Structure 1
């Protein structure tokens, strides 16, 4: 047998490469919804069938098949379920408060997301890491029944140690605690915090594989980028804030990075819990349906402000949900679009929507950091700036330390905040969670934050962009070609 294999190994290798390449190419052609993605992968596979097929297996298959708890309220019965339903926003309430065009946004959200637009929520912005961490740790210390924490990065540093101690103490008090950390994000610090938590009795797991033993194929390129903390089913924290001391001025001084996190109460907390619980079930097969995880009806009066919807997106049946919501919002804008994003790499559809809005007279302002923690991403996104600057959009480079916030405000009425960056990874590969907010006071406060950033920012001009050396611009374009995987 060995002699036969030795004599015919070229034929065996050729047959294996044809079979592997054909299988991968057929899968890409049949499953990819974007023609550019399908053509790109088929081209790579044809040029190198075995290596191309292996790359496609690792990075190209982006649909996770899993059971999703689409709405925690579906598990409720009788009067409690009816009570939760009374908080759902109606078309008339949205039209009376914000205009008929935002009824169209409600309809879009109803059709593309798994969660309802709910009334009577309270959302408070936490502008710095120190403020956010203080509020989160206080909520953990006050937990009585349950804590679920899902995050992308949980460093084993001085801030991470504070969270670890608080979670361990909660377990000692008899609180049910579950912690889910992304498999990639768990290894941003070595050793990871996983062992520290487990030694303290905290039930913890990683999302989508263990990077020590090797990532779970074929989903190695897919991560949870969500940041959700739910306490006793009543209070939630979400936004862009990872757990690491680089965002704390206490430890990093004046050069600490900035981010914006949010404390939320009201009926939307049930949906944030549902998202985190579904991810926990995917990672561990455990259903969080015991009494400790039960939902109490909100205490606020139905029908009042603030209107909030939880928007979950990711490479399962929620693929590109955030992209669809953003496209809808850009299409209804009449006066202003304000965006803050650390990694601004929108696809062609979003660029077209932005420049179309600008051409019809909408003021479009995009704020990105001057100082970026990902240099390659910064170079790649700079390569796209000319497409917007030529079409009446304004781009600003914010001064000061790196700002990791993800904020969008439309016409002073509609806001979108959370974990999603405007880049291919967030829009197609990562699991993300955002909040759609309809409330004039909240969105006007977002706009004041954006105005403050613009007041000390430097405007990017097309003339200055094109005056840079050709070699610099060429390198940026080359990096831009690889932007879907940066």
Structure 2
């Protein structure tokens, strides 16, 4: 079992903020594709600017590029009928990860979702981050937004591309195998299972882009070989911190180990700052974290709530100004759904220029769009809010009990 990612030198990295910029770079790469596009996402929505990504996939398939699209059965569900027909006509191959049956999410085994957001084009460029194919100015539950959703992704060239491509290809062939089994086509199912285990060195060296040249690697979280990889990477980085830890995380509910690591870091003089969700989005995720605030604030950890719009980022920076900087950008929240159940993917970067760039942007966000939570104001929150917080925390603990997992 591999406990830590392989970091290699020479990656060309571009930090991307927001869906508008992400779609621009993603569509440009897809429009240049000559052989294959592989895309995985939790949400594929077709409103607004997100439809432009669907159109780019359609264009690629129509000119003979092989396009593999995987979406999650909860985050996306069945595609709109119009787009099903358009993708089929163009030749876009689409698979739904763990589609829900009649009983939906009633069974805990159905809570294991595909939450990572990955793309590889021609084995030359990869994208990894937290940005869904979803218009930044639109939310499926809340409608039009007054400010864009805050999230990040990374565009990469280098050995990281092959790491991303291999994990995507393995999942694709496993989904193919399951499909063949359901069709009672067992010879094809066997062939697909064999293909899922193959090492496929398709990645090629791309042309230089003039971006940051950095040491980087891929962090994965799944229910087989990489159950703890992302959590352990965070723990190691926090334990090694000497000056500063800055984490921006949308759905933040750390387990005992991670809470203890943050508290110990603060106690040894490390400045620990958290950028967390400040706007109500989901009952469980919004309220369940509040009972944890008291412990964190008492240890001297700063909590900044992002209030301009919905926070969807899952990024962190440790000691960006020092000799051993560490940063990560990806899909994994620091909560039990991500760290115990979902398939996740983060890029980890050991590079001062990249870490400084992400750190500088987070500093600006805190200064312009966040409210600092004080221990006194937290203690003064009304009783009905405290009640909702405790109810959500209790429901989360019950959900963990039902999964049979410790956190």
Separation of aligned partners in 2, 1:217 and 1:351? 29
Residue 203 of structure 1 corresponds to: 93
The counterpart of 2:355, out of the listed 423, 431, 443, is 443
Separation of aligned partners in 1, 2:174 and 2:295? 40
Shift of 1:372: 3.8
Separation of aligned partners in 1, 2:262 and 2:74? 33
Gaps in structure 2 of 5+ consecutive residues: 178-191, 401-407
Residue 392 of structure 2 corresponds to: 479
Q: Assess, with a 3 A threshold, how the Cα gap between structure 1 residues 215 and 363 changes in structure 2: closer, same or farther.
A: closer
- How many correspondences in the alignment? 371
Tell me the TM-score normalised to structure 1 length.
0.71
Is 2:243 aligned against 1:331? no
Larger helix proportion, structure 1 or 2?
A: 1
Gaps in structure 1 of 5+ consecutive residues: 1-109
Q: Assess, with a 3 A threshold, how the Cα gap between structure 1 residues 306 and 204 changes in structure 2: closer, same or farther.
A: same
Residue 127 of structure 2 corresponds to: 237
Larger strand proportion, structure 1 or 2?
A: 2
Residue aligned with 2:203, SS: coil
Separation of aligned partners in 1, 2:106 and 2:373? 42
* 1:249-299 Cα distance to aligned partner (Å, 9 max, x none): 9x9574221211211111111001111112112211343899x98332466
Residue aligned with 2:265, SS: helix
Separation of aligned partners in 1, 2:130 and 2:247? 15
Residue aligned with 1:433, SS: strand
Moved more, 344-353 or 185-194: 185-194
Shift of 1:473: 1.0
* 1:18-69 Cα distance to aligned partner (Å, 9 max, x none): xxxxxxxxxxxxxxxxxxxxxxxxxxxxxxxxxxxxxxxxxxxxxxxxxxxx
Residue 182 of structure 2 corresponds to: none
Residue 433 of structure 1 corresponds to: 345
Of structures 1 and 2, the one with the larger relative CO (CA 8 A, separation 6+) is: 2
Residue 226 of structure 1 corresponds to: 116
Separation of aligned partners in 2, 1:203 and 1:462? 52
The counterpart of 1:383, out of the listed 291, 303, 313, is 291
Q: Assess, with a 3 A threshold, how the Cα gap between structure 1 residues 358 and 217 changes in structure 2: closer, same or farther.
A: closer
* 1:407-428 Cα distance to aligned partner (Å, 9 max, x none): 1000111101100011110111
Residue 309 of structure 1 corresponds to: 217
* 1:98-154 Cα distance to aligned partner (Å, 9 max, x none): xxxxxxxxxxxx9404x5211100111111211111111111111001100011000
Contact 1:182 1:225 (C-alpha < 8 Å) held by counterparts: yes
Q: Assess, with a 3 A threshold, how the Cα gap between structure 1 residues 223 and 233 changes in structure 2: closer, same or farther.
A: same
Shift of 1:440: 0.3
Separation of aligned partners in 2, 1:460 and 1:218? 34
Shift of 1:183: 1.1
Separation of aligned partners in 2, 1:431 and 1:363? 31
Shift of 1:216: 11
Root mean square deviation, CA, Å: 2.8
Residue 154 of structure 2 corresponds to: 262
Q: Assess, with a 3 A threshold, how the Cα gap between structure 1 residues 159 and 192 changes in structure 2: closer, same or farther.
A: farther
Separation of aligned partners in 2, 1:133 and 1:204? 19
Separation of aligned partners in 2, 1:247 and 1:275? 31
Shift of 1:248: 7.1
Shift of 1:384: 1.1
Separation of aligned partners in 1, 2:283 and 2:365? 21
Separation of aligned partners in 1, 2:50 and 2:103? 24
The counterpart of 1:400, out of the listed 308, 323, 340, is 308
The counterpart of 1:319, out of the listed 227, 244, 267, is 227
Residue 379 of structure 2 corresponds to: 466
Contact 1:155 1:193 (C-alpha < 8 Å) held by counterparts: no
Shift of 1:366: 0.4
Separation of aligned partners in 2, 1:384 and 1:481? 12
